[in-house]
């Protein structure tokens, strides 16, 4: 009779209360997380939030001061965990004087691949990264986006079940950025579990089904985009109403209706889109000329601002 594995073995990643200090700096300040199979978790936070340090604790490059990390039930940095993990670091790690194929060959050998298995893995990587036609070009002659894709492929040569992508689109052109999104989507379609760090909220929104917002080494909120927006704002949206600059009483009028005026645009929080009608009626009645109007649902950027008082890109 087959015995089933302990439940924890099927969980790709379990992080329990990880703390990492560098001198006075607390880079990771007590993070706990669980990532389930086939999930794509986004770690969204500004530069210096501690994302890379957390990722490096998962791959065993950083030893936490306290707390534990388990990869499919195995302790971080154990050979069994390493086998399951693919890590694409934020900085390129390639041999510039070797070709793409030679790089993949070298990375495959580190992972213990040989012969037919290695050849097939290289083939898969080149196709996945759309680099088959440049496989025999020396790395230093490739564009930044191609190097980035090759770097991703190098981290994937042993076809791990859990993949950690650390800001994979920083410094690449828009076309390569789209290719990278497709590469992530292809991994997900195969059932790979992905952790994706970024400071671009559009990327987290597009690629990830759950997002952990990281700030000062802590997870300050977690959920789907809709859940995060609802946690911070409930059903509230913003109406942005541009008023005729000539209206002398615009600021007082806006304030009297619970809004704020910035650069000629009145911002009103509303609970229902139908609240727009009464605002428009009031403006007409009070002789204010409305130039244009938008209803804006808060996004992850607004959630970050609401939670921290800062801009994600600051």
Residue 85 binds which of Mg ion, ligand ADP, none (CB < 5-8 A, kind-dependent): none
Residue 134 binds which of Mg ion, ligand ADP, none (CB < 5-8 A, kind-dependent): none
Residue among 167, 122, 177, 120 at smallest CA distance from 146: 177
Residue 160 binds which of ligand ADP, Mg ion, none (CB < 5-8 A, kind-dependent): none
Q: Which lies closer to ligand ADP via its Cβ, residue 84 or residue 166?
A: 166
Applying CB under 5 A, among 41, 52, 59, 164 the residue interacting with Mg ion is 52
Distance in Å, CB of 192 to ligand ADP, minimum: 22
Joined tokens for residue 130: 């759309």
Where on the phi/psi map is residue 230: left (φ > 0), alpha (ψ -120 to 50), or beta? alpha
Residue 25 binds which of Mg ion, ligand ADP, none (CB < 5-8 A, kind-dependent): ligand ADP
Q: Which lies closer to ligand ADP via its Cβ, residue 42 or residue 50?
A: 50
Site for ligand ADP in 27-56 (CB under 6 A): 27, 45, 47-53
Distance in Å, CB of 51 to ligand ADP, minimum: 3
Q: Which residue is nearest to Mg ion (CB)?
A: 52
Q: Which residues contact 115 (CB under 8 A, 6 or more apart)?
A: none
Contact assessment for residue 73 and residue 11, using Cβ atoms and an 8 Å cutoff = yes
Residue among 20, 33, 23 at smallest CA distance from 216: 20
Distance in Å, CB of 139 to ligand ADP, minimum: 25
Distance CA 28, CA 310 (A): 19
Distance CA 27, CA 226 (A): 28
Give the count of residues interacting with ligand ADP (CB under 6 A): 11
Site for ligand ADP in 224-283 (CB under 6 A): none
Q: Which lies closer to ligand ADP via its Cβ, residue 121 or residue 172?
A: 172
Contact assessment for residue 71 and residue 162, using Cβ atoms and an 8 Å cutoff = yes
Q: Which lies closer to ligand ADP via its Cβ, residue 103 or residue 215?
A: 215
Contact assessment for residue 87 and residue 55, using Cβ atoms and an 8 Å cutoff = yes
CB atoms < 10 A from the CB of 73, how many?
17
Strand-strand pairing, 40-44 and 210-215: parallel
The DSSP output letter for 99 is B
Q: 3-class DSSP state for residue 1?
A: coil
Q: Which lies closer to ligand ADP via its Cβ, residue 50 or residue 145?
A: 50
Q: Which lies closer to ligand ADP via its Cβ, residue 44 or residue 183?
A: 44
Query: Is 207 a binder of ligand ADP (CB under 6 A)?
Result: no
Contact assessment for residue 41 and residue 195, using Cβ atoms and an 8 Å cutoff = yes
Site for Mg ion in 54-113 (CB under 5 A): 90
Question: Helix 144-155 and helix 100-110: axis angle, to 10°?
Answer: 20
Applying CB under 6 A, among 8, 9, 10, 25 the residue interacting with ligand ADP is 25
The DSSP output letter for 75 is E
Q: Which lies closer to ligand ADP via its Cβ, residue 32 or residue 249?
A: 32
Q: Which residues bind ligand ADP (CB under 6 A)?
A: 22, 25, 27, 45, 47-53
Q: Which residues sit at the interface with Mg ion, rule CB under 5 A?
A: 51-52, 90
């Amino acid at each position: 009779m087959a015995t089933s594995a302990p439940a924890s073995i099927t969980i790709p990643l379990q992080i329990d209360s990880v703390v990492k200090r560098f001198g006075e700096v607390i880079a990771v300040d007590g993070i706990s997380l669980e990532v389930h199979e086939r999930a794509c978790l986004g770690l969204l936070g500004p530069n210096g939030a501690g994302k890379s340090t957390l990722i490096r604790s998962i791959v065993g490059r950083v030893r936490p001061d306290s707390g534990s990390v388990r990869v499919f039930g195995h302790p971080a940095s154990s050979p069994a965990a390493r086998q399951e993990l693919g890590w694409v670091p934020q900085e390129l790690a390639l041999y510039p004087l070797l070709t793409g194929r030679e790089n993949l060959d070298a990375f495959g050998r580190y992972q213990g691949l040989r012969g037919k298995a290695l050849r097939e893995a290289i083939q898969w990587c080149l196709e996945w990264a759309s680099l088959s036609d440049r496989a025999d070009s020396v790395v230093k002659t490739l564009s930044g986006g191609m190097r980035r894709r090759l770097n991703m492929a190098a981290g994937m040569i042993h076809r791990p079940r859990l993949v950690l992508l650390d800001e994979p689109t920083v410094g690449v052109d828009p076309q390569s950025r789209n290719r990278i999104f497709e590469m992530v989507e292809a991994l997900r379609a195969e059932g790979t579990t992905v952790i994706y760090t970024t400071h671009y909220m559009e990327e987290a929104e597009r690629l990830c089904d759950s997002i952990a917002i990281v700030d000062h080494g802590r997870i300050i909120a977690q959920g789907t985009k809709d859940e995060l927006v609802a946690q911070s704002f409930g059903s509230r949206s913003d109406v942005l109403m541009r008023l005729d600059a000539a209206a002398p009483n615009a600021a007082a009028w806006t304030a009297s209706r619970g809004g704020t005026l910035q650069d000629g645009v009145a911002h009103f929080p509303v609970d229902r889109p139908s609240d727009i009608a009464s605002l428009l009626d009031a403006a007409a009645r009070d002789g204010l000329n409305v130039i244009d109007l938008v209803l804006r649902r808060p996004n992850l950027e607004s959630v970050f601002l609401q939670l921290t008082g800062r801009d994600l890109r600051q």
